Amino acid sequence: MNLQLLFAGFVFTALTFSARSESVYDRPPAYDVKMQLQDAWSLGELVVQGTSGKRTIAVEQVLFGKSAELTETKHDIAMGSTPGIASGIRGVWFLVKGPDGYVSVNPGGKAISLETFKALPSPATHWTTQKGLTVNQPDKRHLNHCYVKPETKDPVRHGPWVFLTPIDVEVGLFLHGEQEFSLKLDSMGCIKRINRYPKVGYGFYLEYDNYDRLVEFGHFNDRKRHGLYRRYYADDPDQLREEKQFTNGVVDGRWRKWNEKGEIIYDQTFEMGLVPPVVHYQGKEPGPIVIRRDENGATYSMHPVVNGIKVGMTVQEVSDLLKVDFSPTGGLMFLFYQRDQYLSVSFKDGKVSVLHTGHNGVCLGLRRDMN
């Protein structure tokens, strides 16, 4: 029986990084072929040695994994119509089961030598060693792997997943319910997005346009945004659209935005989510208000003490009342002042100048748009 190979010619550029020096967070993510191969190995469900033909791979040897569909008399893997692999290339191929056959995850769609494969360190614990794995195919476009957790009887995603659309394909890897990485590729096998998202340590993401030009990138540390983030205009990837700095998931440093003409339209410096100068609460008694610092700044939890804020109060009086750090320049935002309303507090000349309430849906939408 023939196996279909849906996509074979894409560059697999996901990486595995351990935590590194701080400098890695200050520039676009870097990677090499060795790291690509290591991730392809960790993703591969079936590793074979063979020769590519016109829409086929003639399998000579199965190096890893098992397939009941590969028999002694039929060792061909049929490829789909997607271009990418040239004929007559002999070597090793990493394959993942998709919703309609197998997908190649070889870097650049190129076979590697048997010697290169043997020199690769084997994954410490490959996802295929998990007992009770089943293949789940909810529809014709989507396939993933999972097992049932004995304690709760809930399904746990573990292993690769593949999702197809008419114009692109996504492939990624889950380990015990945690997504490690994903890639999005167009119908020609060109990378659109890479997302490395390990639970612990360094991660990153890269996004490209239709001409393989970098249009967005960012870094993660323990799944929190960290370091430099940049986004470019899709029509002109040489023109910056946004640049931002993060520290462990919190905007921290300079945040700038540009219009299409290259003119700065937003320029603000943050100190761990707050616009300096920051009023730091000096008392020892803990207050009832909790500050939530995130990628867009800072918001505050609601407590009846907030009702004590009045127009005309000084910055010091507000600090004594709330017992929490805040920025008079950036103001205060209480997202859940009432069930469906927020309260914002603005300052001018060291005093509360405006108290404004609005619908939470509008406020949350604006915060989402800011990112």
Q: Is pLDDT at 193 greater than 70 in this prediction?
A: yes
CA angle (192 as vertex; 200, 369 as ends), nearest 5: 75
- Write down the mean pLDDT value for the chain: 84
Of the pLDDT bands very low, low, confident and very high (cuts 50, 70, 90), residue 354 is: very high
Asked if the model's pLDDT at residue 364 lies above 70, the reply is: no
Burial of 195 (0-12, 13-18, 19+ CB in 10 A): buried
Q: Evaluate if residue 4 carries a pLDDT over 60.
A: no
User: How many residues does this entry show for the chain?
Assistant: 371
pLDDT in tens, 111-150: 899 999 999 988 888 999 999 999 999 888 899 999 999 9
Residue 266: per-residue pLDDT: 97
pLDDT over 80 at 152, yes or no:
yes
The pLDDT of residue 69 is above 80: no
> Confidence band (pLDDT; 50, 70, 90) for 81?
very low
Quote the pLDDT of residue 85: 64
Residue spans of the domains in the chain: they are 3-120+132-267, 291-370
Task: Please tell me the distance from the alpha carbon of residue 292 to that of residue 326, in angstroms, as a whole number.
Answer: 11
Answer with the residue of higher pLDDT: 229 or 107. Answer: 229
Residue 188 binned pLDDT confidence (cut-offs 50, 70, 90): low
